[in-house]
Structure 1
Amino acid sequence: MTDPQIALTMLGVFILFVFLGFPIAFTLMALGIGFGYYAYYDPSRMWRSYNRLTEDADGWTSTTTWLEGFFNNRIFDLFVNQTYTVMSNEVLTAIPLFLFMGYIVERANIVDKLFGSLAIAARNVPGSMGVAALITCALFATATGIVGAVVTLMGLLALPAMLKARYEPSFASGIICAGGTLGILIPPSIMLIVYAASSGVSIVRLYAAAMLPGLLLVGLYLIYVIGRSILQPSVAPKLSKEDVPDMPRGAVFLMLLKSFFPLSVLILAVLGSILFGLATPTEAASIGALGGLLLAAGYRALHFDRLRESVYLTVRTTAMVCWLFVGSYTFSAVFSYLGGEQVISEFVGSLDLSPIAFLLLAQVIIFLLGWPLEWSEIIIIFVPIFLPLLPQFGIDPLFFGILVALNLQTSFLTPPMAMSAYYLKGIAPSEVKLTHIFAGVMPFLFMVILSMLMVYVFPGLVFTLPEAVYGN
């Protein structure tokens, strides 16, 4: 077999192991080191000799001993260097701080107050409880970036309230599932940090580029919720005073002041300091972590057990992401050295694709990968395969990254592997069937596809804000 054929075999073995359920980070490292041992094999480095003095009956003599230098292979140097590169990456250092902020905010008992105050404030809007749940999901998902946590908490809090208000189960379920995924798109998104580290694109420009598409998607969700509530009132009946009490405007404003504004100020402070160049992402993440602690203390939810659990979850998730990077860097370096990247580039070039056809092909592949894989694995492992091909088609990696971020919303919403649906089903009342949840997420899935189409047709949605703030 030629080296490129071995590289493609390496990729095929990895995909097979993924579907067999092997841990992805360790699979990447094992295959990278295993195939890399072959790729960097040098017979002259495999044997080394040294002189050893031994004592026998006639005195001291010098003998030569030959030892097999099994570890004398450059793949081990590569693995160590890649590990150091990941651990010293300044972009990735923001991940644990943002994660810690998210876990602290998640445990600060803010969500119930936030949802209650928004439901009262929007009580005269069609589908008011759905609107409140969607805004709460968007805000909370933005603060935490943890899809499973947002969907689970909102499922425990908002879903029973909407069902009690006679909302259709599929409609209520779809709102929570779709809203919970927004955190991987709207800054400060951990997913965008990971993409920046993989692609070399400025995280500041990525955050600026994601703002308008993120708001566009939220707007489409709200239009759908309000519009369907108007056209089909049975899915979201008008609330009675028993469902949501009628309160004076001053009291409603005070409730919002205590619940909505503190979290909004924290998010805007973190995001604003990044976008306006007042702080690096890592420094802004430090501000966010400190703000999360102060917020939890202000809500009297800063207890030692919660703090310890937040630290533990932060360390565990950070370790997962970092070892994925180490495995991916090692795997991709060996894959490229064997000529696999060149084979893929030549194959794609031979298809004579137009830029739009390449974008469509890439997004369909990422869409399908979203069924068995998490977004982190897609961004770290598979997206770098497409990145070297972008100049060939004249596609800006910034634009490609935003399309990928939108596309990854679908990985949580597409049956039969819609993880948001399974998160919700795990805590939903027994009368809410999985088929109800699948039916509820489908309209939101179409909203995501529509937003991707709008971003492609109107690329200014991506480029306007970064160019206005930072120039070309």
Structure 2
Amino acid sequence: MTDPQIALMMLGLFIVFVFLGFPIAFTLMAMGIGFGYYAYFDAGRMWRTFNRLGEDADMWDRWTAWIQGLFNNRIFDLFVNQTYTVMSNEVLTAIPLFLFMGYIVERANIVDRLFGTLNIAARNVPGSMGVAALITCALFATATGIVGAVVTLMGLLALPAMLKARYSPSFASGIICAGGTLGILIPPSIMLIVYAAASGVSIVRLYAAALLPGLTLVGLYLIYVMGRAILQPSVAPRPTEDEVPRVPFVKLAWMLATSFLPLAFLIASVLGSILFGLATPTEAAAIGALGGMLLAVLYRSMNHKRLRESVYLTVRTTAMVCWLFVGSYTFSAVFSYLGGEHVISEFVQSLNLTPLQFLILAQLIIFLLGWPLEWSEIIIIFVPIFLPLLKFFDIDPLFFGVLVALNLQTSFLTPPMAMSAYYLKGIAPPSVQLTAIFRGVMPFLFCVFMAMALMYAYPDIVYYLPRLFYG
């Protein structure tokens, strides 16, 4: 077999092992080191290590020399260097800080108060409870960026309230599942940080570019929710006085000031300091983490147990992302060294695709990968395969990154592996069937496709804010 064929076999075996359920980070590292040992094997170098001993060397020295010779392979140097590169990457430093902010906010008991306030404020809007749940999801997802936490918490909080208000189970489930995934698109998104580290795109420009597409998707969701409530009132009946009471304007203003504004101010401060160049993403993340702790103190929900849980979950998630990077960098370096990247590049170029056709093909592949894989594996492992081709097709990596972030909304919403649906099913009442949740998310899936089509048709949705802020 030639080296490029071995590289393609390496990629195929990795996909097989992923489907078998092996841990992805350690599978990447094991396959990178295993195939890398073959790729970088130098028999002369190994024998030189063994033959440096004299004839009078004892058996122990010879055994030690054999071991040293076996490990005298450049793949181990590569693995150590890649580990150091990942752990010292300044862009990735922001990840644990944003995660810590999210976990603290999740435990600050802000969301239940926010949902209750927005529910009262929107009581005269069609589908008012769904609108309140969607806006709450968007704010909470933006503050945390942790899809499972948002869907689970909102499922415990908003789903019973909507079911009690006679909402259709599938309609209510779809709102929570779709709203809970917005955190991987709307800044400050962890996913965008990971893409920036993988592609070399400026995270500041990436945040600016992703803001309008994220708000566009939220707008499409809201249009669908209100439009369906108007056309089909039975799925979202208007609330009665007992379900959502009227409150005086002054009291409502105070409720908004104490629930909506603090979280909105925290998000705006973090994002604004990044976009206007007042702080780096890492510094802004540190501000956000401190702000999240202050909010938890003000809401009297900070204690040692919650702080310890937040730190533990932050460390665990950060370690997962960093080891994925280490494994991916090692795997991709060996894959490229064997010529696999060159083979794929030549094959795609031989198809004579237009830039639009390439974009559609790439997004279709990422959409299909979203069924078995999560966004972190797709961004760290597979997106770098497309990045070298962007220059050939004259596609801006900034535009491509935002398009991928929008596309990855589908990885949480597409049956049969819609993780948001499974998160929700795990805490939903037994009467809410998984098939009903799947039916509920499908219209929101079409909203995502519509947002992607709008980005294709009107690229200024992506480029307007980066040009406005940075020229």
* TM category, shorter: over 0.9
Q: Please give the alpha-carbon distance, in whole angstroms, between the structure 2 residues aligned to 1:463 and 1:289.
A: 29
Letter in 2 for 1:466: P
- Structure 2 unaligned residues grouped into runs of 5+: none
TM superposition shift of 1:152: 0.4
SS of equivalent residue, structure 1 residue 67: helix
Q: Which residue of 1 aligns with 2:362?
A: 362
Q: Which residue of 2 aligns with 1:273?
A: 273
Q: Please give the alpha-carbon distance, in whole angstroms, between the structure 1 residues aligned to 2:366 and 2:55.
A: 62
Q: Please give the alpha-carbon distance, in whole angstroms, between the structure 2 residues aligned to 1:55 and 1:144.
A: 61
Q: Which residue of 1 aligns with 2:330?
A: 330
Q: Which residue of 1 aligns with 2:174?
A: 174
Q: Which residue of 1 aligns with 2:46?
A: 46
Alignment of 1:273-292 (within 5 A): 273-292=273-292
Alignment of 1:151-300 (within 5 A): 151-300=151-300
Q: Please give the alpha-carbon distance, in whole angstroms, between the structure 1 residues aligned to 2:430 and 2:250.
A: 39
TM superposition shift of 1:430: 1.1
Identify which range, 177-186 or 44-53, moves more after superposition. Answer: 44-53
Give me the identity figure in percent. 80
Q: Please give the alpha-carbon distance, in whole angstroms, between the structure 2 residues aligned to 1:22 and 1:64.
A: 37
Q: Please give the alpha-carbon distance, in whole angstroms, between the structure 1 residues aligned to 2:55 and 2:10.
A: 45
Q: Which residue of 2 aligns with 1:144?
A: 144
Letter in 2 for 1:38: Y
TM superposition shift of 1:96: 0.2
TM superposition shift of 1:413: 0.5
Letter in 1 for 2:425: K
Letter in 2 for 1:346: E
Q: Please give the alpha-carbon distance, in whole angstroms, between the structure 2 residues aligned to 1:353 and 1:242.
A: 60
Identify which range, 44-53 or 405-414, moves more after superposition. Answer: 44-53
Residues 65 and 163 of structure 1, relative CA distance in 2, 3 Å threshold = closer
TM superposition shift of 1:309: 0.5
Residues 234 and 337 of structure 1, relative CA distance in 2, 3 Å threshold = same
On the 8 A contact 1:156/1:428 being kept in 2, the answer is: yes
Q: Which residue of 1 aligns with 2:306?
A: 306
On the 8 A contact 1:187/1:207 being kept in 2, the answer is: yes
TM superposition shift of 1:363: 0.5
Alignment of 1:392-431 (within 5 A): 392-431=392-431
TM superposition shift of 1:206: 0.4
Superposed CA offset, 1:344-374 (max 9, x none): 0000011111111111110010001001101
Alignment of 1:60-209 (within 5 A): 67-68=65-66, 69-209=69-209
TM superposition shift of 1:55: 11
Q: What TM-score, normalized by structure 2, do the two folds share?
A: 0.97
Q: Which residue of 2 aligns with 1:59?
A: none
On the 8 A contact 1:52/1:64 being kept in 2, the answer is: no
Q: Please give the alpha-carbon distance, in whole angstroms, between the structure 1 residues aligned to 2:359 and 2:56.
A: 69
Q: Which residue of 2 aligns with 1:348?
A: 348
Residues 19 and 66 of structure 1, relative CA distance in 2, 3 Å threshold = closer
Letter in 2 for 1:319: A
Q: Please give the alpha-carbon distance, in whole angstroms, between the structure 1 residues aligned to 2:176 and 2:354.
A: 38
Q: Please give the alpha-carbon distance, in whole angstroms, between the structure 2 residues aligned to 1:14 and 1:437.
A: 31
TM superposition shift of 1:44: 1.7
Letter in 2 for 1:180: G
Q: Please give the alpha-carbon distance, in whole angstroms, between the structure 1 residues aligned to 2:141 and 2:113.
A: 16
What RMSD in Å do the two structures reach over aligned CA positions? 1.4
TM superposition shift of 1:67: 2.9
Q: Please give the alpha-carbon distance, in whole angstroms, between the structure 1 residues aligned to 2:325 and 2:52.
A: 38
